[in-house]
Structure 1
């Protein structure tokens, strides 16, 4: 057997062993033997680059060569389900289905509602071709390279009988065991903890380094099959077929005919779900027949043939030991309850947010109190009550701190705000790192080659202390032992490319307290340059739509700070955009004067942000929701079904992308 034949043989055997180990849980070889085969394949592929295959088992180890995610339109929109929280709503839904089918017999497929990140997988000729996140339901991020590292998702189907092309949807999850191990590692490294498995899974899958994804042991359950040539009319039967093709399908599915059987299924899993290895937050009910699903159709937001039953939040009682405080990017100080560990919805809970001082006072919290804890939406722990009868005789009420726990600066509370703030934004470490993380974010400077972990590392190594320091970074500073030259170069290139980001996003990226994305755009369009904005007075700032006194004072305070002035001058020297471009300041026309326009869908010629700018340059106004005052909707591909229905109901005109551009020509 020559080396090329051996490559093909190893690939086939490793795919089979992956499927047996991760999906069937029936391994036939040991880890060492598997690793030896994988190393052999890696060596052979390195010697034969002409044999490269994107679905080779070696691709599951991940790479650091991701360059960002491109947006992909869904072939079939990924709609959300209507939620219900009680038995009567389930009975009402069942009755509405019966009436919708005019009394025709129907079956319901009952399945677990997994709490993860929705994913759509496309297969052609049994090979994984694309993996796309739900996004906004119309389009999502192409995360194919990251998904290839998840071992329960087959790269090449081991089974037979599948259609030439189909789509299968499911949830990417982080099992409880992986989640607890990851947070233990982060706690030991003094890194911020993930709030819950869903956030951890989402953050992991969106990592630009697929090696991180490979290390974090994500899992996947698939629950819906779409395509032109499906094997059966039954949803349940299609998933059973997909199980035989090599996909991980829940063992908890059940097909029933009566509403009583549905209630029995819900009651069983309300208890049994606590023994599952992954997070669940409810039950999904679907009419089984695809023909009947089509007959029932959709409302503006969700299918009529499916509904999600959400489990009630679990509640436990435990003792409050102490209250500690965390400082966020804006300086807001959040109190955190530290409690005796208690098992709650699959994890051990030791901490819960207390929101702010008013929240603490509303419960009259004392140290040593027995407190009731729930998980909001089965995820975020929160205190919902106090057992006053169990309060220790000698106990002290919780007193909100007066100074910042990180830098010792006296805290302030702004008029109309519930939170206390640390005003030392230039010297308080969490605020400094938080502002840098905000600066590099997608909607700000879009330096997607960096992330929070990298920012924290560079801060600890004293490479960066503020946002301007980013532009002094050189490859040799961050290349470590020399093994990450490409990664380091990509980071430097990403920082340099951010100099092209338009002025309004530079204003947003500064992280001025209370100034959001919309406010930053309004300020940039009104003042047109950083110098004009920096020199604006209180009254002049309040002339801008949506800028109140509190925000105006915050803007003045930011620009009067000498350190901030120095940072802005450095950014100016590095070449960042400090004014609207000539093209942006010159009105193109008044053809849209007085018109309110809603943008919806995916566009071919320009991005949504570019169309917003075009509308404003031609005298129009961008609005987010449809009303009787809407002049027209600029509609791209896959316009949201709810907006389409509302537009038709109100008689609002729908204008295509080409019609719109012709209108302005």
Structure 2
């Protein structure tokens, strides 16, 4: 087992290092920030759990040390650390509580800024004059790109005023405007992937290619400081930004000085709206403890400051409007509200409907028809409403008291906070989904027996349970739209030919509540026959791998229902179960 864990950690490190090399050196993003951060988080957990496998070459202990040979390497006067990235409110709450514990105060101030998606740069000034500009590098030393900063139009070569510090390291983000990026692609007839890669590539171009760089306009927003002399020149991060502005630096105008989580999250959701309107790329917000004194007290790890955190957009959060709500009947009769939204485009995936889980969730979100909503979608995960903005043109969502399909009374479960139709197979929607589940890919899969066919057959009352499907004939199938005699014949032949099913697929096809394919496999390994399983006690089920009290109860109750016993006996005579 230890060797397997060790191999897993080695493979994970190699994968992350490859992504970092492409991103930091070649300016190519092989994966999204979200996926990269999740891989890093997983590596942290493994290294924390198996400390004896830990090594100093791990990406978790380095900020990035891929340097290009053509640049001189110089040290930062103070480490230029990276930021810990989080994607949900709970992690921000953990950060908030940690700060509270460190400073031993109930209330303290934060400074929130937009997180620009560009390239970090450290610029050193002595007596108000620019000395050099370094990339972040490994956090302790960086590449000297002073020769290329002529393409950053708004970076001051001399500080304004007379009251600036004797020595000052200014940290900021170098980026390209979206409009300039579009024009660059047009003028050069290229298809560069994103402005961040262009900014990084231009800043680190060979001197021989400086004429190419001149065509690429870059901008610099100052967001912080490193070393400063005198040491206590700045006392507040928010006021420090104002000071830097007075020295001639451009500061991102969208920032917030606050002392509550509520205001921080409000700033985050406003930044979601700003994302599309801004002429530069952002990928979240940065939350920083405002007091410089507290920042020093809280300290940092080798890689991150502990007093700051990046709350990043969870792949994508987009705004939409609730046009209406449908109430869907599930396989077990549970009623699920589904919000109909004005269409939103998640990187090519159009989303029009989002599940709201149950009536309690509607109340919790204070969701209404006409509400504006923020919808989150990570990778291929199901979209979710994360915030609601109400307006005066709204209608209350009225949860049904009778089944939308069969009109029977619904039963409300106070514990689960769900409404359920208890009409079983006498409810057409439940019947349809029960049969669909039986013939799904993890159940008794037969090519051609899909959702459209089953829906038609149920609506016309030709089938009432999975057994009826095996009794279909050409005459019945030909009565359906778009099915000719040849298609009907093919379906009937498949039903006659494919009557073998693995035991675990059969268990899954029964649709036992909360029994998925992996649980079905675990059950099938425990019993050598269907009869043995049907006669098993509750205690025997609870001993099976990964089965708890609740699932064991569901299985035991299911196999001891008289209707289910009759149904299983009948179907086991029609099909052959393979053990």
TM-score band (shorter)?
A: 0.3 to 0.5
- Tell me the TM-score normalised to structure 2 length: 0.44
